[in-house]
Structure 1
Amino acid sequence: MKDSTESHTSHIKFWRKRNKPELTLDDITIVDRKMLNRAVGAAALGNAMEWFDFGVYSFLAVTIGHVFFPSGSASAQLIATFATFAAAFLVRPLGGMVFGPLGDKIGRQKVLAFTMIMMAAGTFSIGLIPGYSSIGIAAPILLLVARLVQGFSTGGEYGGAATFIAEYSTDKRRGFMGSWLEFGTFGGYLLGAGLVTGLTAYMSNDQLLAWGWRIPFFIAAPLGLFGLYIRLKLEETPAFQKHMEKQEEIEHNKPQQTLFEMLRKYWRPMLQCIGLVLLFNVSNYMLTSYMPSYLTSVLGLSELSGLMLIMVVMFIMMPLTLVLGFWNDRLGRKPVLLAGAIGLIVLSIPSLMLIGHGGMVGVFCGLMLLGILHTFFSGTMPAALPALFTTNTRYSALAIGFNISVSLFGGTTPLVTSWLVSETGNVMVPAYYLMGAALIGAITVFSLKETARKPLIGSAPAVETKEEAKKLLKKLHLRKKKREEEKANLGNNTPTS
């Protein structure tokens, strides 16, 4: 591992160019541990709320197909359900274009509070919509509207939550603290999936179709209110506060950067973000959104068996995500991400073969293998993605890049994969899809600069204690003095003509 002082150097040079020529003790951020823990909890809770809905929708996909779409083949209803699921992702970039710039202008905390309200309202409203048998074509239209509201709000959620945690964290522990965001993802998903599993186990099919499926969506209201309360109690991130102070001091009359100018200036990290998110989300949605229906509709497992297997895998993935978050702070983001991508390229086909031909034990082992590989991304991405961008554009760029990639590649994974399996009859299609995403992701990882244990671009170092700040400042000054001496000696040794 490189010396921590050396790892700070290039990012501190960038900070000096944008702020003042010399770093002082006052510039170094001393992170309040209690406030950091509250920020991580609030951000993770919002992500849990988002994924509670995804867990419910994915695990109820077959039931929702019966309720909202005309009777026909089971495959047609399932594809229609996933099409509505995917439609929400099409508006996510629009949400990112609205909420991202707002987050960079008025603050991360305010925007995250508003997205929480919208997410809860969209999820709750699905539970109120009558079925196709009651109101006909209006039922799937209203379902689509509710999903679009959800998609628009979540366009500002993940980028903001990842930014919020990254800017609150110390440089040394940003990977571990960011991994709690995905811990919340799995927790929310498990809560939704657990509710569906309980309903499936204790209710008859007729009861589930008649009214039981609505219960999980109604729970979104109290969850959303609790999340809103927690987020309103938070302060703005230290990095954003310091950025706004600098804006007031030296850029009061400077015109705001337009969206087009931002995209043109940061096209390289934006493409890197899209490539990383493609890898992250194809793996994610393949496991969490497509596999429950794949096990039931394609492999013929009972619905309850499929749900239980996915839930056990997700439960094991929760602590593993934190473990990978801990280790990417020490080993680096790039090695961990690359290991996960290569693992998917090599092991996707064996995993799907186990799922398709190995009986219950084989199905579990195949799912667990995919789940373990996914934790390489879930434990690392919340820290790797915000580090691509500067403080003044972080929320905007991350929200837009993340959601463009999710819309094109992540959210469409269940729809495209189910359609390909239906058209080709080849149950190995999910493996080939994962391998393609992993190849693109691996190429992207090679293009990255290592960001573990470094300050965020545009921000001064963030440490846990004042003593640590003093030690860092002393090392930086000694390092600068040594470089100046080496430069002077080099000049003195230069031969004269």
Structure 2
Amino acid sequence: MSLAPGATDVATTYSPRLTRRAALAGGVGTLVEYYDFSVYGFLAVTIAPLFFPSSNSTASMLSALAVFASGYLVRPLGGIFFGWLGDRYGRRVPLVATVLGMGVCSGLLGFLPTYASAGVFAPLLLVVFRLLGGFCAGGEIGGAATYIAESTPPARRGFFGSFTPFGSTFGFAVAATVVGIVSSASTSAAMTSWGWRIPFLLCLPLAVLCLWARRKLEDTPEFVRTKESGERTRWPLLQVLRTNPLSVLRVMGIAVATNGSGYIGLTYVSVYLIKTLHYPSGQVYWLSAAVIGLACLTMPLAGLLSDRWGRRRVLVIGLAGYLVIAYPVLAVMDAASSIFVVGLVYLLFMIFNALLQVPAFPMFTELFPGKVRYTGVALGFNLGTILAGGTAPYVATLLVEKTGSHTSPAFWVMGVAVVGLVSLLGLRETANTALPR
């Protein structure tokens, strides 16, 4: 087995039980987190006029999407705080705290008054809770990826690491399903009056479910070894910026590609189909749930491929694929008269995103030594998410508004794919290597 730069050939015994528990807890946690965070995106069409009333429906929609993006602005701060906590005091505590905070903040959105009853305080409260939720979310996915990687044998890190993006992406499918059920079971008036609150309120019991999944987590053998050897650093943020700045930039660039393309499929497409192409909202929510769910089923296979072929090769396939398919997919959506045809090209788009997300997360953890791993992954990933994740639906909507072309968001997808390819230049393969120490 080859070693990563800076790694030490230390025999490590990985417990199959710990590996399975880490994958389950990480996957369930990211599922809940991304359900909490994405349900807002699926309800943006309904929320927009309730919190941002305007005679211009597009302006109202852009305001709602700007609030969606605002939740990402504070994610790096959350990543820094929870990364410090995880690198200094253990992986377990922040993994519990982040998902609990995210669930409470998103659940409370279901109790908010609308603009009609509270005036300007309604959108203000909406922004506050989105910011608080974003702060908590900033420490979740990096922590889950770190925990799974440190609990898994190198040869299986890609497969078990796929549970992190599986959970995050499936969270969108669950959100779409819940919104679809509520939308189908209520009239348009009822959905506007009270139905939109139900998906948010469900965040509270889901947070309890995640606490159950994570209640007995132990710290990883990697962290215990780092703690016992006295290698922990007092300020992991300063340490990672001083010793691993290129790795942070690589993670950020790859995160721009994965999130910039992913959020087009996960959030923007549903808004586009309802708002621009005028498909029935209930039909779109079910379509999104089905497509995202099917795409998730390909993720374990992508993880196996990344273990066998290497992280870089699978990432390059996904990135090059977007350069080829982004424009045709949106062109077909725009021209198609059948929701079935739309679903087929939508599924193709999301499968390519699986080829980006799955190898990316284990690769992120393989770029940093244990004493700064949580902080490095969280910092780089969240900075990339700010640049191209939460902003993607807003940018796509703005591009269509300014250019008049429904296919213009394809150029955004192609642009972030190029950023991802550039980020891979000069990077050595990290699959099947010991984690750096």
Residue 209 in 1 paired to residue 192 in 2? Answer: yes
- Counterparts of residues 75-474 of structure 1 (less than 5 Å): 75-247=58-230, 256-257=234-235, 259-360=237-338, 361-458=340-437
Distance 1:447 1:296 in 2: 42
- Contact 2:260–2:392 (CA under 8 A) maintained in structure 1: yes
Deviation, structure 1 residue 324: 0.4
Deviation, structure 1 residue 220: 1.0
- Contact 1:274–1:405 (CA under 8 A) maintained in structure 2: yes
Alpha carbons of structure 1 residues 108 and 365: separation in structure 2 relative to 1, 3 Å? same
How many residue pairs get matched? 436
- Which residue among 34, 40, 43 is the counterpart of 1:60? 43
- Contact 1:355–1:365 (CA under 8 A) maintained in structure 2: no
Residue 30 in 1 paired to residue 13 in 2? Answer: yes
Give CA deviations for 1:216-260 in whole Å, capped at 9, x if unaligned.
11111111122123222110011111111111xxx59xx734633
What amino acid is the match of 1:141? L
Higher mean alpha-carbon deviation, 37-46 vs 79-88, is at: 37-46
Q: Structure 2-normalised TM-score?
A: 0.97
- Contact 1:92–1:403 (CA under 8 A) maintained in structure 2: yes
Q: Structure 1-normalised TM-score?
A: 0.85
Q: Which runs of 4+ in 1 moved over 6 A?
A: none
Q: Highest Rg: 1 or 2?
A: 1
Residue 15 in 1 paired to residue 27 in 2? Answer: no
- Contact 2:179–2:199 (CA under 8 A) maintained in structure 1: yes
Distance 1:218 1:55 in 2: 14
What amino acid is the match of 2:436? I
Distance 1:54 1:288 in 2: 12
Deviation, structure 1 residue 261: 4.2
Distance 1:210 1:98 in 2: 38
Deviation, structure 1 residue 118: 0.6
Alpha carbons of structure 1 residues 203 and 164: separation in structure 2 relative to 1, 3 Å? same
- Contact 2:67–2:127 (CA under 8 A) maintained in structure 1: yes
Distance 1:164 1:119 in 2: 19
- Contact 1:89–1:411 (CA under 8 A) maintained in structure 2: yes
What amino acid is the match of 1:267? P
Distance 2:413 2:156 in 1: 30
- Contact 1:36–1:168 (CA under 8 A) maintained in structure 2: yes
What amino acid is the match of 1:152? F
Give CA deviations for 1:300-355 in whole Å, capped at 9, x if unaligned.
22212222222221121111011101111001101100000000011111111111
What amino acid is the match of 2:360? M
Deviation, structure 1 residue 400: 0.9
What amino acid is the match of 1:376? L
Distance 1:313 1:221 in 2: 26
The share of aligned pairs that are identical, in percent, is: 36
Distance 1:413 1:95 in 2: 21
Alpha carbons of structure 1 residues 181 and 286: separation in structure 2 relative to 1, 3 Å? same
- Contact 2:329–2:349 (CA under 8 A) maintained in structure 1: yes
Distance 2:135 2:379 in 1: 12
Deviation, structure 1 residue 71: 3.5
Say which SS state the counterpart of residue 414 (structure 2) adopts.
helix
What amino acid is the match of 2:213? I
- Contact 1:354–1:365 (CA under 8 A) maintained in structure 2: no
- Contact 1:270–1:397 (CA under 8 A) maintained in structure 2: yes
What amino acid is the match of 1:206? A
Distance 2:54 2:116 in 1: 10
Distance 1:358 1:83 in 2: 29
C-alpha RMSD of matched pairs (Å)? 1.5
What amino acid is the match of 1:94? L
Distance 2:156 2:250 in 1: 23
Give CA deviations for 1:192-212 in whole Å, capped at 9, x if unaligned.
111110111120011111111
What amino acid is the match of 2:68? F
